């Protein structure tokens, strides 16, 4: 194995670049801007240029590279074909081939960003020491990643781990971003927490709570007031916990992981979130999986960069 590798996490506004040796030691990280104009045609050339520059700074060449791992915000089919990244303006792109040709044939591999972040957390974060990890990412939406035997489970259509779109409620009238009604994302994401709080405020006009009148009302507000003992906020968090806990019980009936890692912005609420989720997880889970550990993610925004390079180190 050659001595160095890069892990790259492409987001809609910035691209996170990580430089590692192939022992897995982190060496350096930095960010570049995601230039989405002209259908994102500059994204891969910008990454290639940034990699070459970093190598030159370190008096290295492309020959010193084992490979470059990339996480992208969209579905990745087998063979590394990316099938539309709306946030980047990309249509169908063969990222492996295009980036490799910009880097004189260096090995490139690509994964979906949520899956790659899950691999990062499994390797070096909340799931460290475990081969089989389910990661649940609670951000603007609800994402997920399934790691089996230390590898990403991508799925037949790049849709493994799309747990935000499990239909968990029958009588929902609001429409999810995916077009369905009753998706987990409508309750368990930051947006979902805010939505549930507003619904509860409207449904209980007489209820007194410090949440009333907040503009904007954020998911963090709901968790913060719940921590101070506000019953109204606690009740919203209880609903969030039920939706997430029972959905995670479904997931463990399917893959029975060693550990469940909860990440994303909402997870910064910490123990109060885990407690609400586990309250509903345990009675819904199959008995063999009832005591599976829940952990908080620890790598934050670096998870994707770690997971991306791990795809190279563990190929």
Q: Kindly list the residues in this chain that would bind a copy of itself in the complex (CB under 8 A).
A: 75, 132, 144, 146, 148, 153-163, 165-167, 178-180, 246-247, 249-258, 283-284, 286-289, 292
Q: Which pairing describes strands 4-10 and 151-152: parallel, antiparallel, or unpaired?
A: unpaired
The nearest distance, CB 132 to a copy of itself, in angstroms, is 6
Peptide bond into 216 cis (omega under 30): yes
Q: What contacts 23, CB < 8 A, 6 or more positions away?
A: none
Report the relative pairing of strands 259-263 and 293-296 from DSSP bridges: parallel
User: Minimum Å distance from CB 131 to a copy of itself?
Assistant: 9
Q: How far is the CB of 260 from a copy of itself (least distance, A)?
A: 11
Smallest distance from a copy of itself to CB 263, Å? 17
CB distance 31 to 16 below 8 Å: yes
Which helix (H) or strand (E) segment holds residue 29: the answer is: strand 26-33
Nearest distance, CB of residue 43 and a copy of itself, angstroms? 23
Closer by beta carbon to a copy of itself, 69 or else 144: 144
Residues 150 and 160 sit within 8 Å (Cβ to Cβ): no
* Number of neighbouring beta carbons within 10 Å of residue 206: 4
Give the nearer residue to a copy of itself in terms of CB position, either 18 or 139.
139
Question: Which residue reads 């609670």 in tokens?
Answer: 138
């Amino acid at each position: 194995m050659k001595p160095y590798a890069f892990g790259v996490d492409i987001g809609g506004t910035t691209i996170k670049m990580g430089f590692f040796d192939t022992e897995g030691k982190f060496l350096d990280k930095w960010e570049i801007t995601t230039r989405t104009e002209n259908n994102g045609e500059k994204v891969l050339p910008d990454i290639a240029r940034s990699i070459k520059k970093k190598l030159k700074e370190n008096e290295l060449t492309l020959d010193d590279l084992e490979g470059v791992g990339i996480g992208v915000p969209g579905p990745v089919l087998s063979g590394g074909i990316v099938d539309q990244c709306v946030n980047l303006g990309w249509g169908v792109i063969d990222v492996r081939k295009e980036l490799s040709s910009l880097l004189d044939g260096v090995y490139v591999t690509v994964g979906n960003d949520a899956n790659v972040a899950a691999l990062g957390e499994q390797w070096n974060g909340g799931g460290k020491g475990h081969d089989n990890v389910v990661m649940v990412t609670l951000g603007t939406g609800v994402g997920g990643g399934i790691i089996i035997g230390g590898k990403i489970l991508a799925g037949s259509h790049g849709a493994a781990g799309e747990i935000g779109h499990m239909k968990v409620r029958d009588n929902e009238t609001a429409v999810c971003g995916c077009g369905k009604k009753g998706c987990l994302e409508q309750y368990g994401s930051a947006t979902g927490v805010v939505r549930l709080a507003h619904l509860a405020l409207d449904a209980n006009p007489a209820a007194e709570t410090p949440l009333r009148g907040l503009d904007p009302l954020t998911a963090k507000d709901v968790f913060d007031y719940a921590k101070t003992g506000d019953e109204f906020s606690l009740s919203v968090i209880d609903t969030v916990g039920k939706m997430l806990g029972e959905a995670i019980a479904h997931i463990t009936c399917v893959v029975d992981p060693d550990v469940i890692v909860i990440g994303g912005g909402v997870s910064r609420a910490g123990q109060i979130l885990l407690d609400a989720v586990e309250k509903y997880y345990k009675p819904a889970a199959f008995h063999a999986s009832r005591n599976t550990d829940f952990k908080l993610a620890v790598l934050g925004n670096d998870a994707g960069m770690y997971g991306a390079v791990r795809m190279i180190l563990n190929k």
